[in-house]
Structure 1
């Protein structure tokens, strides 16, 4: 039984904590020395371990996307007559997204570590399909051999990657970044910031063990409670991707909650050329201008790219994201259904397998449909697409194990520890 003096001490400490007698009420970054419900001191032999937390660590390559209300759906004439993305109002929680598409050098880094740490079978499964460049009636042979590995193409978007391969990359990236965070959690700054958010450029959480036990696979299990690790890198949902591409913060007037302007593309206006300044008349994305016209004429190559382009080329949108239209289409998480716009929720909408609109309704075996539970949405338009597909509301789909020279991807991440 607890003696009276010890009981009195806990009572006094608890009363002080409950009354927030110093510095106001407790918060995630300032939880106080004592529990506000039991009065027991943290980080003692008896008390619970509470690590120092200064906010989610900065993830390499990510930029913050402030969420909010928007109208998703196609803002262009539905020339394909698909009627599969009608306008509807939704709310998206804030999240993070890669400022640029995953590039060849990033995929080569992935292959480097996969070859070191995984089986040869998995390494072979991670190789992009470089034959996507091969065309029977085109001399694209050099791209088959050189596009992925030649140094000049390092920061061009990786292509020939299926949806399944992109997901594997996200899993690896999560593990590799958190492995570094766990290893350096008790050290100094250990590395500078990079464009778009360095690993330790802004915040650093200290205290507590970053690793705790082993996972089912035998690897190190990361302790989420310490705040020293990042949530999973993953493909963005279709709603997140479309919202980020719209970047309507650039059209918002101060103090006015009404969204008075909507964009056809990730930039202002109904045109695809820059209407301002010294770059007036220059295209704002890499796309196909018409049959046989990929770049313009010699001496005046407007968009400057017969195929893909440097991932940081063309002006970023108002969220700081590059090439949300053109260059390459991008995989998103969602399976494809033509009725997604009416079936999904209006808060953080996402289309997953096994709910509503079952695949049995689609006659794929009878060759009357291409839809099943293994087709995924891709968005954004590419170097080989006409301007119609540059609009964020347009959507297409392809089998999750397929790849082309026109589809790449970028990663996203939840904004952990916040309700905004």
Structure 2
């Protein structure tokens, strides 16, 4: 009995000391420093917690359109967080204001940063309709401030997500005393040329804020410096559990799982039936006494009917509606059906390959790594090395911003003898590549498969390229003095090189042999919109659209991965 009690006491003692060595953590004398008081991930601004689980992904109702593009499959989703509402005009305007003040478009180096992020307001135009008021007012007028932003393409949505991550973490560092008060405004005020970036802070904190280390001397840092004059350990690292993971677009599987809200039908470890919509029942109208007969989402109810007749507007809107105008689903998410359809992260393919993977399914992985220079330091973008690109419609956008780390594709150093992946770009994996094409025996010697013989041969619109910066990687050796002698060591040099803009030309693909609109540049969007009939309100419905184009009916919301336990509050499962 004594031995058992001693064992229990020792296990509790390991909270502040190493189970491996017995050394005490966080000792002032030295040793390993670690956050032993960490509880669990806090919910970041705007998000709600979605506990993961198993569900049937895909269409469980009749396929009246005969698309055959989403056969039912069982998938498991890890817990994550999702925006309570769609990203609104006000949220996006805050992003535009930050870009405009931080990177003034009047400066030639920055001109296309702001202009490339502005939504395309011309999506409201209709050749036989009058919508000029929407073009001028929908994004910026305060009457629409809490309406979902539209006219945003997939690329812009991704860039917004990255900006949001940095601003949230920048505030966390300031509030917890790791940076000076007001440091988050330094870039907007022009006090520094390079703004805060989360990944740069973690990997190369001395390069944040353009090397202005004084902005990272908060009260907590100053106390640490009083005890130890060195800068070792004064910056937050991942092991401290202070910074939030990145905001991002949800995967298609996550979005569908969250929209269904099956937790409302759960009884122990099974579901009591299936759901056609994010709400219970087979109908789009509410049966509650209050508001009986009203529509439960904003959608098109028939030809020429976008919201009922005057005096009885049963869905309360003719175009988009203010967020939270309708009841939430069982996860507390609003407008997961209707209002606007939403971008998700996935590249579109007709088949969801559940035979290969049924855990956190996602098609679209392009693996990259941080670029490292010849001195072993990460390469950080500065105002002169921003990478610009020209979209298929001729619009010029910034692919990165000053302060971000340059990313390059993973190479053989990461893929050699790997069983999980063998190359950087996996968008074509098992669907559209050599192995799955009917011409699989071609291209085995490294030659390109002719476009006419590819599985997906969507039209190619040719557009002249804008001025941009590319990074040339050179592999070789350099001489270094080691242990009293000069030796040759491997060397990697990553150097920026400016590519001049070609004359802007636009050429249409007039080929009559195209058999598909699918390629690696089309992304899935989910959920019905104010322009759609009720059929598209089913969370299982999936459609696709070019990632560099925008519409007046597609918006987006953000997600964030959950780190740690599946459930919140250390909830125990019932047996």
User: How far apart, in 2, do the equivalents of 1:324 and 1:417 lie?
Assistant: 26
Task: Name which of 174, 177, 180 aligns with 2:168.
Answer: 177
Task: Name which of 273, 286, 297 aligns with 1:285.
Answer: 297
Structure 2: which 5+ residue stretches go unaligned?
104-109, 182-199, 210-215, 217-234, 365-426, 434-453, 460-512, 568-575
* Length-normalised TM-score, structure 2: 0.63
User: How far apart, in 2, do the equivalents of 1:47 and 1:302 lie?
Assistant: 66
* Structure 1 residue matching 2:75: 3-state secondary structure: strand
Q: How does 1:214-253 map to 2 (within 5 A)?
A: 214=204, 218=208, 223-253=237-267
2:537 paired residue number: 390
User: How far apart, in 1, do the equivalents of 2:166 and 2:98 lie?
Assistant: 11
RMSD: 2.3
* Structure 2 residue matching 1:245: 3-state secondary structure: helix
Structure 1: which 5+ residue stretches go unaligned?
1-14, 191-209
User: How far apart, in 2, do the equivalents of 1:399 and 1:343 lie?
Assistant: 27
1:414 paired residue number: 561
User: How far apart, in 1, do the equivalents of 2:111 and 2:39 lie?
Assistant: 41
1:41 paired residue number: 24
Shift of 1:216: 10
* Structure 1 residue matching 2:242: 3-state secondary structure: coil
Paired residues of 1:84 and 1:339 also in contact (CA < 8 A):
yes
Larger radius of gyration: 2
User: How far apart, in 2, do the equivalents of 1:183 and 1:126 lie?
Assistant: 27
Is it true that 1:99 corresponds to 2:84 in the alignment? yes
Indicate the larger mover: 279-288 or 39-48. 39-48
* Structure 2 residue matching 1:81: 3-state secondary structure: coil
User: How far apart, in 1, do the equivalents of 2:314 and 2:121 lie?
Assistant: 27
Indicate the larger mover: 81-90 or 238-247. 81-90
Is it true that 1:356 corresponds to 2:503 in the alignment? no
Is it true that 1:78 corresponds to 2:63 in the alignment? yes
- Size of the aligned set, in residue pairs, is 376
Q: How big is each residue's C-alpha offset from its partner over 1:20-66, in whole Å with a ceiling of 9 and x where there is no partner?
A: 526x547xxxx622112111111123211112422213200100001
Paired residues of 2:249 and 2:343 also in contact (CA < 8 A):
yes
User: How far apart, in 2, do the equivalents of 1:113 and 1:303 lie?
Assistant: 35
Shift of 1:319: 0.2
Paired residues of 1:74 and 1:86 also in contact (CA < 8 A):
yes
* Length-normalised TM-score, structure 1: 0.85
Structure 1 ranges of 4+ moved more than 4 A: 210-213, 215-222, 341-344
Q: How big is each residue's C-alpha offset from its partner over 1:167-198, in whole Å with a ceiling of 9 and x where there is no partner?
A: 000000001100111111248xx9xxxxxxxx
User: How far apart, in 1, do the equivalents of 2:249 and 2:156 lie?
Assistant: 11
Q: How big is each residue's C-alpha offset from its partner over 1:317-356, in whole Å with a ceiling of 9 and x where there is no partner?
A: 0000000000000000000000125455111111121311
User: How far apart, in 2, do the equivalents of 1:272 and 1:110 lie?
Assistant: 35
Shift of 1:211: 5.7
Shift of 1:279: 1.7
* Structure 2 residue matching 1:175: 3-state secondary structure: helix
Q: How does 1:3-42 map to 2 (within 5 A)?
A: 19=7, 21=9, 24-25=11-12, 32-42=15-25
Q: How big is each residue's C-alpha offset from its partner over 1:149-182, in whole Å with a ceiling of 9 and x where there is no partner?
A: 0001000000000000000000000011001111
Paired residues of 2:161 and 2:249 also in contact (CA < 8 A):
yes
